[in-house]
Amino acid sequence: MKSSRRSSILALLGPGLMLAATGVGAGDLAGGAFAGMKLGVAVLWAVLLGAFFKFVVTEGLARWQLATGTTLLEGATLRLGPVVRWGFLLYLVVWSFGVGGALISACGVAAHALFPVFDDPSQAKIVFGIGHSLLGLALVWVGSFRFLERTMVILVSLMIVIVLVTGALIGADWGAVLRGLVIPRVPDLPEAVPWTLALMGGVGGTLTVLCYGYWIREEKRSGPEDLRSCRWDLGISYALVALFAMAMVILADGMTLSGKGATLVVDLADRLGERTHPAARLIFLGGAWAAVFSSLLGVWQAVPYLFADFWHLHRNRRSLDPASFKPYQVDTRGKTYRAYLIGLALVPLLGLRYDFQLVQKLYAVFGALVMPMLALALLVLNGRAAWVGESFRNRWWTSVVLVGVLGFFAWVGLPKLAAALGFG
């Protein structure tokens, strides 16, 4: 009975917890720490708003899939034309290389901080990074979906508990924390607006939002009756992501940190050890490692779904008729899925020694634009009762929020685009 109950809870919450584990990586850790260092707890409201924005987008994705039986990629290709398919492939390849390299590097830095067995940090990053990438490849290759789901739930639970407990023990000004949550304001500091926007935009992943559709397929959620489960699942997921991001802001409040990305997180761990107890450093680093490795494992497991889905659409491009199209269940033991998994785990290893500036620049641009593109697609696809049914069509308030998401992320993304192209 107990085992059955645990299985039912995992089936209900598993996809959302996997989304949380995959979406929170080194960038979210560093982003929260950087915002806390620069702006303090006054901008905690931005974390809540960012989590709410992404909840609305992911709920819209789930609503489309449960109403039509097709993933968002399938639906956008069928309804909006082949340009979506080819634009998506370009985005997917660049994003995969960029995020893969970042995750491998972050795992290497976090592992070296926990086990400093190398004198040269650069060598340690390479050796540990390669080891983590190959471990992720092996786990996805041999593990079932249920095994990977359980593994990621354990990692994300470890990550969240450690960071929340550390945040609670740091001795924060809880009155200021409460004000930062309920009073939207931006401190009068240089570049405070860009830092606040970056904190809001960094909550809970970008392309990994699309992976949620494949995870709910694995859980056999396939009809309108499953929408309520998805809403509960996503609500809990984004609440945990928001708590995690807020804890990172609280931890870094008032600190002076150096470095960027995973190295900034390691510096934060050092400062925590100095302010509290040396054991706090190792405990926090354990949570940081769980965050970056669970994100790597989630990306290795989920992103090949996207390429396999694209490849199926490409091979059947001459017969893509919305009226007769049959949804495709990705085979995680199939050649297409596994070929992309191998490429995802191995090709970014080149970035540990070589700096591919063009790829990183494109990755930054595309990463800033994915959320407005998703919001625009959902405004169109879920806005037609003829496509999703009247009960699943966007309500007026959902459309207002999606327009807000589109405007906000375009506002955040366009300056990044201009800077990357040399105009900023």
pLDDT band at residue 264 under the 50/70/90 scheme: confident
Question: What percent of the chain is modeled with pLDDT above 70?
Answer: 87
The number of beta carbons lying within 10 Å of the beta carbon of residue 358 is 8
CA-to-CA dists, residue 78 to 72, 81, 88, 321, 378, angstroms: 10, 6, 13, 7, 14
* 344, 303 Cβ separation under 8 angstroms: yes
Q: Which of 71-80, 102-111, 118-127, 405-414 has the lowest mean pLDDT?
A: 405-414
pLDDT at 142 over 50: yes
* 21, 153 Cβ separation under 8 angstroms: yes
C-alpha neighbours within 13 Å on the C-beta side of residue 247: 22
pLDDT at 127 over 50: yes
Give per-residue pLDDT as tens, 363-386: 555 666 778 888 899 999 999 999
Residue 352 included in any domain: yes
Q: What per-residue confidence (pLDDT) applies to 130?
A: 94
Q: Is 84 helix (H, G, I), strand (E, B) or coil?
A: helix
Q: What per-residue confidence (pLDDT) applies to 164?
A: 79
Q: Which residue has the higher pLDDT, 180 or 14?
A: 180
Give per-residue pLDDT as tens, 227-242: 999 999 999 889 988 8
Residue 337 included in any domain: yes
Residue 405 included in any domain: no
* 412, 198 Cβ separation under 8 angstroms: yes
Residue 415 included in any domain: no
Q: Which residue has the higher pLDDT, 200 or 4?
A: 200
Question: What CA–CA distance (Å, rounded) separates 27 from 198?
Answer: 11
- Give the contacts of 35 (CB within 8 A, at least 6 positions apart): 43, 46, 195, 196, 198, 199, 249, 252
Q: What per-residue confidence (pLDDT) applies to 1?
A: 41
Question: What CA–CA distance (Å, rounded) separates 85 from 377?
Answer: 13
Average pLDDT, rounded, for the chain: 84
Q: Which residue has the higher pLDDT, 281 or 335?
A: 335
Domain count of the fold of the chain: 1
- Report the CATH number that the domain containing residue 320 is assigned in CATH: 1.20.1740.10
Give per-residue pLDDT as tens, 307-333: 999 999 888 887 777 777 888 888 999
Q: What per-residue confidence (pLDDT) applies to 10?
A: 61
Q: Is 144 helix (H, G, I), strand (E, B) or coil?
A: coil
411 alpha-carbon distance from chain centroid: 20
pLDDT band at residue 344 under the 50/70/90 scheme: very high
Q: Is 194 helix (H, G, I), strand (E, B) or coil?
A: helix
The number of beta carbons lying within 10 Å of the beta carbon of residue 162 is 22
pLDDT band at residue 5 under the 50/70/90 scheme: very low
Q: Is 397 helix (H, G, I), strand (E, B) or coil?
A: helix
Question: What CA–CA distance (Å, rounded) separates 31 from 25?
Answer: 10
Give per-residue pLDDT as tens, 52-95: 988 999 999 999 999 999 999 999 998 888 888 888 898 888 88
Residue 403 included in any domain: no
Residue 111 included in any domain: yes
Residue 129 included in any domain: yes
pLDDT band at residue 6 under the 50/70/90 scheme: very low
Tell me which residue range forms the domain holding 186. 2-366
Residue 80 included in any domain: yes
**Which whole number is the average pLDDT over 258-287?**
82
- Tokens read off for 180: 């930062």
